Amino acid sequence: MNKKINAFLSRHNFPVSLNINDVVEAVLYDMDYELKNTGVHKGQEMIRTYMLPPEASLKNESVIVIDAGGTNFRSCLVSFDENGIPSISDMEKCAMPAVDRELSKKEFFDQIAFNLEHLKDKATKIGFCFSYSMTITSDGDCIVNSFSKGVKAPEVCGCKVGASLKEALLSHGWKKIDRISLINDTVAALLAGASLKNKGFAYSSYIGFILGTGMNLAYIQPSIKDILDKQIIVCESGNFNYLSLSDFDKAMDSKTTRPGYHLIEKQCSGAYLGPLALEVIQCAGREGLFSSAFAKELLDMKELSLIQLDSFLHAPAAFKSTNATEEDKCVLYQLYDAIKRAAV
């Protein structure tokens, strides 16, 4: 059975094994190339943030905090006491705008304003974690380069997020907004780690790595003479594209919102593993790896979620299908198991 499955995967250029050191070297080369060739994005974008971790925390002040991720939109109030110790209140979570349908620029920011209604005028500063490809500007705002993770708001691309959100909030009756500062989730993770240095967790440097709905990395780049000062760099790692694509990856990519973009992200992050697995098992069904009855069941499937994939791998004996033979279940397990690239 293993030979049959390995032959099937190899026939479709799906790597059964991978030399991780070769991948690391390619990623590092791409990072260095992009840093020294600004504006020529062949892979990772290496976005400058013009910031470093702050030396001290805020004191006796509250800030509205927003997190726009791949699936959820979260917002809350973070209040710092006289010792700079933060506390969180007024937390709410809802769906990320423009995932269920395409929104115009105005609709997109109006929806965010609606989501923030419970925080109206509770602070004049807003920290916005915006987890998409963007160009950070020196004033702390950002310009959206592109969306991933299924967000459909093309009119927002090329716009300043902070300025557009401020306009929307004021039109919804907010009295005063002093500043909206934009970062993405990798920078937020890095800053969260760096904030613990006063508690004894002090290190020579810090990184922020996110692998969930999408994939990305931020780190502190030392200064490069005549090129850039020391600062946090957002790699946009999901754009790394020097890995070969299997037939399954190509088929899945062709059905995404932006074919040809965020290729390594599509190969291993959560938003895409379900659709990728569906391509694999339906191809296997067409090529005779399953019994005819179970193959028909698989080919009739319209979607496959990461939750279903994960549930089967954790408890294959609980899988219910009147058409699947024991051999079918074994083949399905091994195909699903081969897709666990993020664990390699």
Q: What is the DSSP letter of 224?
A: B
Confidence of residue 1 (pLDDT cuts 50, 70, 90): low
pLDDT in tens, 25-44: 999 999 999 888 876 667 88
List the single range of 54-68, 117-131, 142-156 with lowest mean pLDDT.
Answer: 142-156
Q: Please, where are the H alpha helices in the chain? A: 2-11, 20-36, 105-115, 161-171, 185-194, 247-254, 263-268, 270-286, 292-299, 306-314, 326-338
Closest by CA position to 233, among listed 101, 107, 136: 136
Does the pLDDT value for residue 340 go beyond 80? no
- Of 57-66, 205-214, 266-275, which has the strongest mean pLDDT? 57-66
Q: How far is the C-alpha of 341 from the C-alpha of 344, rounded, in Å?
A: 5
**Mean pLDDT, rounded, for 193-220:** 85
Average pLDDT over residues 163-181: 96
Most confidently predicted of 151-165, 182-196, 250-264: 151-165
Dihedrals phi, psi of 67, to nearest 5 degrees: -130, 110
Spatial CA neighbour of 149 closest among 100, 188, 208: 100
Is the full-model pTM beyond 0.85? no
| Residue 344's pLDDT band (cuts 50, 70, 90) | very low
Residue 321 scores a pLDDT above 70: yes
What pLDDT sits at residue 155? 95
Structure tokens belonging to residue 271: 């938003």
- Mean model confidence pLDDT for the chain: 90
- The maximal CA–CA distance of the chain, rounded, in angstroms, is 69
Exposed e or buried b for every residue in 17-33, given b needs 16+ CB within 10 A? eeeeeeeeeebeebbee
- Whether the predicted pLDDT of 150 surpasses 90: no
Structure confidence at residue 23 (pLDDT): 85
Which of 93-107, 163-177, 187-201, 220-234 is predicted with the least confidence, judged by mean pLDDT? 187-201
Query: Which residue type does 132 have?
Result: Y
Q: Is the pLDDT of residue 342 over 70?
A: no
What's the average model confidence in pLDDT over 75-89? 94
The CA-based dihedral angle spanning residues 241, 311, 18, 275, taken in that order and rounded to the nearest 10 degrees: -30
Q: Has residue 325 got a pLDDT over 90?
A: yes
